[in-house]
């Protein structure tokens, strides 16, 4: 058993660290607070080839393993979690198209997605249905060579930069069970009736836009149906969720690590009662706890990623990693804020951003309440006494 990163993984991590130190850290606080889109950083992501993370090499992508993907999302999130969001749903949708798209769909979309010349996102959630995706109401009605699509999607990250965007729809609303009547359409965003109607105001996760999309009788050519056959949309979407959960877990590890690093640095520098606060046991215990939890979250995340890389079923493991790491990010950012005292509550220090960014990881990619259900189902299905390793 080997819990060390390989030479390739270490080299990738070093490249990311250099990029984050040079391109992200110097501007993150100012741009985040100004609500400025990180155009120059996105250009840097393109130059590194990171839009092709999950795109097969035959279509010009990096085709990285999932441990590498976790490293990318962890390191970017140490600098600014919002930047990871620019790549997040793009990478998931590329992977979904690579796995489930027709030959023609892969050839048409993946090369441009790999270079970042075109980008994408993923439109699942609706005002009335998030956790319960089978409850969506966006409808696609076949009309000759087109589907006529109507409905509203909400909380869609990267919506203004996506073209086409995979949209989960109902092609047969009467199907039982409901998921058999669901499909994914790769909707071109310049079609009449497609409108990104507003940007949603967010607590954190600034940088990428998160929007509402209205589809008003959008006529989508039938060749946009992912995989070419109706009724597989739900499976196509959930088959990528393990990867999405590792992605979110890795972002949470990055936020937690940054919170920990900043707590240690501040505790060494700040003096009270004539000595550095690092000398107080109360502060030492906070640092010990968050550093230990962060490393545990990291190992859980790499373990889940490695299991997916080995081709094994990993829904329970990815759920555990996402659940644990996101709770650690919440805890670590709050404890780091406490170590910073009043300055932790100031937007002039980075720890405030970590605290605003952390909760998203407990909500996105399946809330932590849903993760617990998934983990319990997996354990009740597969459990063997003595634990998983
Ligand atoms: C910043 C941001 C970006 C996002 N980006 C995207 C995106 O790009 N694309 C996209 O499609 N979506 C996106 N989302 C949506 C996100 O995936 C959903 O918000 C999430 O899945 C939860 O759905 P919901 O908000 O409808 O909450 P609900 O499903 O209404 O849940 C409300 C509460 O009820 C609980 N709950 C619901 N069902 C159960 C159950 N069966 N058992 C126990 N508890 C339950 C939930 O855990 C939660 O606590 C984004 C959200 C945010 C905040």
pLDDT, tens digit, 9 for 90 and up, residues 111-158: 999 999 999 999 999 999 999 999 999 999 999 999 999 999 999 999
Answer whether 125's CB lies under 8 Å from 156's CB: yes
State residue 15's pLDDT score.
98
Same fold, 133-231 and 240-382: no
Backbone φ and ψ for 128, nearest 5 degrees, come out as -105, 5
Q: Does domain 7-115 have CATH number 1.10.540.10?
A: yes
Catalytic residues: 365
- Kindly give the distance from the C-alpha atom of residue 130 to the centroid of ligand 1, in angstroms, as a whole number: 4
State residue 4's pLDDT score.
87
Domain ranges of the chain: 7-115, 133-231, 240-382
Ligand 1 atom showing the smallest separation from residue 158 Cα = 8
Q: How many residues does the chain have?
A: 389
Residue owning the nearest CA to atom 30 of ligand 1:
130
Measured between its terminal Cα atoms, the distance across the chain in Å is 10
State residue 239's pLDDT score.
87
Ligand 1 atom showing the smallest separation from residue 125 Cα = 11
Please give, one letter per residue, the 3-state secondary structure of the chain: CCCCCCHHHHHHHHHHHHHHHHHHCCCHHHHHHHCCCCHHHHHHHHHCCHHHCCCCHHHCCCCCCHHHHHHHHHHHHHHCHHHHHHHHHHHHHHHHHHHHCCHHHHHHHHHHHHHCCCECCCECCECCECCCHHHCCCEEEEECCEEEEEEEEEEEECHHHECCEEEEEECCCCCCCHHHHEEEEEECCCCCCEEEEEECCCCCCCCCCEEEEEEEEEEEEHHHEHHHCCCCHHHHHHCCHHHHHHHHHHHHHHHHHHHHHHHHHHHHHCEECCEEHHHCHHHHHHHHHHHHHHHHHHHHHHHHHHHHHCCCCCHHHHHHHHHHHHHHHHHHHHHHHHHCHHHHHCCCCCHHHHHHHHHHHHHCCCCHHHHHHHHHHHHHHHCCCCCCC
Q: CATH code for 240-382?
A: 1.20.140.10
Ligand 1 environment, Cβ below 6 A: 89, 121-125, 130-131, 155-157, 202, 205, 210, 360, 363-364, 367, 369-370, 373
Residue owning the nearest CA to atom 13 of ligand 1:
155
Residues 357-388 pLDDT 10s: 999 999 999 999 999 999 999 999 988 888 87
Mean pLDDT of the region 164-173: 98
Residue owning the nearest CA to atom 31 of ligand 1:
131
Which residues fall within 8 angstroms of residue 332, CB to CB, at 6 or more apart?
255, 256, 259, 260, 290, 293, 294, 354, 358
**Other Cβ atoms closer than 10 A to 35:** 12
Give Rg (Cα) of the chain. 21
Sorting pLDDT into bands at 50, 70 and 90, what band is 278? very high
Ligand 1 atom showing the smallest separation from residue 368 Cα = 47
pLDDT at residue 304 tops 90: yes
Residues 244-255 pLDDT 10s: 999 999 999 999
Residues 312-328 pLDDT 10s: 989 999 999 999 999 99
pLDDT at residue 389 tops 80: no
- Kindly give the distance from the C-alpha atom of residue 212 to the centroid of ligand 1, in angstroms, as a whole number: 14
Q: CATH code for 133-231?
A: 2.40.110.10
pTM to 2 decimal places: 0.97
């Amino acid at each position: 058993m080997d819990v060390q990163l390989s030479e390739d993984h270490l080299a990738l991590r070093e490249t990311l660290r250099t990029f984050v130190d040079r391109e992200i850290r110097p501007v993150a606080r100012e741009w985040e607070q100004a609500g400025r889109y990180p155009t120059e950083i996105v250009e840097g992501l393109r130059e590194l080839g990171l839009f092709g993370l999950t795109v097969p090499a035959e279509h010009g992508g990096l085709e990285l393993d999932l441990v590498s993907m976790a490293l990318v999302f962890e390191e970017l999130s140490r600098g600014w979690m919002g930047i990871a969001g620019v790549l997040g749903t793009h990478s998931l949708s590329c992977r979904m198209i690579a796995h489930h798209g027709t030959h023609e769909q892969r050839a048409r979309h993946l090369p441009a997605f790999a270079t970042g010349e075109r980008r994408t996102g993923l439109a699942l959630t609706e005002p009335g249905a998030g956790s319960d995706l089978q409850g969506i109401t966006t409808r696609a009605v076949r009309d000759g060579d087109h589907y006529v699509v109507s409905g509203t999607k909400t909380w869609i990250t990267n919506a203004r930069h996506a073209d086409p965007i995979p949209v989960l729809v109902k092609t047969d609303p009467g199907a039982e069970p409901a998921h058999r009547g669901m499909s994914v359409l790769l909707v071109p965003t310049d079609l009449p009736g497609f409108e990104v109607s507003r940007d949603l105001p967010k607590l954190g996760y600034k940088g990428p836009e998160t929007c509402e999309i209205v589809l008003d009788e959008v006529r989508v050519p039938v060749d946009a149906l992912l995989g070419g056959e109706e009724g597989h949309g739900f499976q196509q979407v959930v088959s990528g969720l393990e990867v999405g959960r590792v992605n979110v877990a890795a972002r949470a590890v990055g936020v937690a690590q940054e919170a920990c690093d900043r707590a240690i640095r501040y505790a060494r520098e700040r003096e009270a009662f004539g000595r550095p606060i690092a000398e107080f046991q109360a502060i030492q215990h906070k640092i010990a706890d968050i550093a230990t939890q962060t490393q545990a979250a990291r190992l859980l995340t790499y373990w889940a990623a490695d299991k997916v890389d080995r081709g094994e079923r990993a829904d329970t493991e990815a759920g555990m990693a996402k659940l644990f790491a996101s709770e650690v990010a919440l805890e670590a950012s709050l404890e780091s804020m406490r170590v910073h005292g009043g300055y932790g509550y100031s937007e002039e220090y980075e720890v405030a951003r970590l605290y605003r960014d952390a909760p998203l990881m407990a909500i996105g990619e399946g809330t932590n309440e849903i993760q617990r259900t998934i983990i319990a189902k997996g354990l009740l299905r597969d459990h063997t006494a003595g634990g998983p390793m």
